[in-house]
Structure 1
């Protein structure tokens, strides 16, 4: 690898214009910024909102399914849970069926914050969908197909 072949600038332009990963990352960052800004008044980030919403289930979920839903590894999920736990919005409890496992539960304070966040999310989401020039269901389906 002492004399690498130069990559033509046209290749750079082609990848810039066609790379699905690049465009998905840019879109994800732009969307996250919009939701982060809107949720800031509640002291909540978009990532925290998504995480807490993933816990809003009839029974506290184990860590594995939550990590899979959010496309996170368990270590990243554990780190993301810590600030929510410190704020008293979630608890991490032993799994009654398997003491090695953990279940994630929203606290009443966490549920209250999440309840206040939902109308904000709905408004921002409606604004974003109204700005799209493509069918949002087709866009969502395409992203789902790539993410599985």
Structure 2
């Protein structure tokens, strides 16, 4: 189980670098459709995959904790969590409401996340393969620059491993 949690943390950091929300609306929709198509055989959407990874990495986090770390609205995230709970893929224990209830993955959620990780890896590799190395490097640099600009404006933490100029 500890190995699964460690793996979840590693995947969570990797998934966050490819966060669909980081793109403009039209490309974001296309990217979401692409990932949704990849996850469809597992009965999962890209958003649900992200939630499973986030909950698996932050075992015991609340909906508010997850929403804050992902930079999304807690009410929207809560609806996604509730859908996963109805399927028995997420458990909520303890307090009440979005800030009190602590989330975790039962074996069924952990198993689905584990099955979905290689699907996500293949999908990510497929996208990377279709882009030139120069485009990938430029995109990654643009994302780091955007994160740095937001941090300097007081809207988020600086990107790890990227030094201020």
**TM-score category by the smaller chain?**
0.7 to 0.9
The structure with the greater share of residues assigned to helix is 2
Classify 1:132/1:42 alpha carbon distance in 2 versus 1 (closer, same or farther; 3 Å): same
Structural mapping, 1:2-81, within 5 Å: 24-57=24-57, 59-81=59-81
Classify 1:83/1:53 alpha carbon distance in 2 versus 1 (closer, same or farther; 3 Å): same
SS in 2 for 1:89: coil
Structure with max Cα Rg:
1
Classify 1:70/1:58 alpha carbon distance in 2 versus 1 (closer, same or farther; 3 Å): closer
How far the C-alpha of 1:35 sits from its partner, in A, is 0.5
TM-score by length of 2: 0.66
Question: 5+ unaligned residues in a row in structure 2: which ranges?
Answer: 1-22, 157-165
Q: Name the Cα RMSD after superposition.
A: 2.1
What is the alpha-carbon distance in structure 1 between the residues aligned to residue 120 and residue 59 of structure 2? 23
Give the match for residue 19 of structure 1: none
Give the match for residue 102 of structure 2: 103
What is the alpha-carbon distance in structure 1 between the residues aligned to residue 76 and residue 86 of structure 2? 16
Q: Decide whether the 8 Å contact of 1:51 with 1:70 is kept in 2.
A: no
Q: Decide whether the 8 Å contact of 2:67 with 2:77 is kept in 1.
A: yes
What is the alpha-carbon distance in structure 1 between the residues aligned to residue 112 and residue 146 of structure 2? 28
What is the alpha-carbon distance in structure 2 between the residues aligned to residue 36 and residue 132 of structure 1? 20
What is the alpha-carbon distance in structure 2 between the residues aligned to residue 58 and residue 74 of structure 1? 16
SS in 2 for 1:56: helix
TM-score by length of 1: 0.73
Q: Decide whether the 8 Å contact of 1:49 with 1:117 is kept in 2.
A: yes
The structure with the greater share of residues assigned to strand is 1
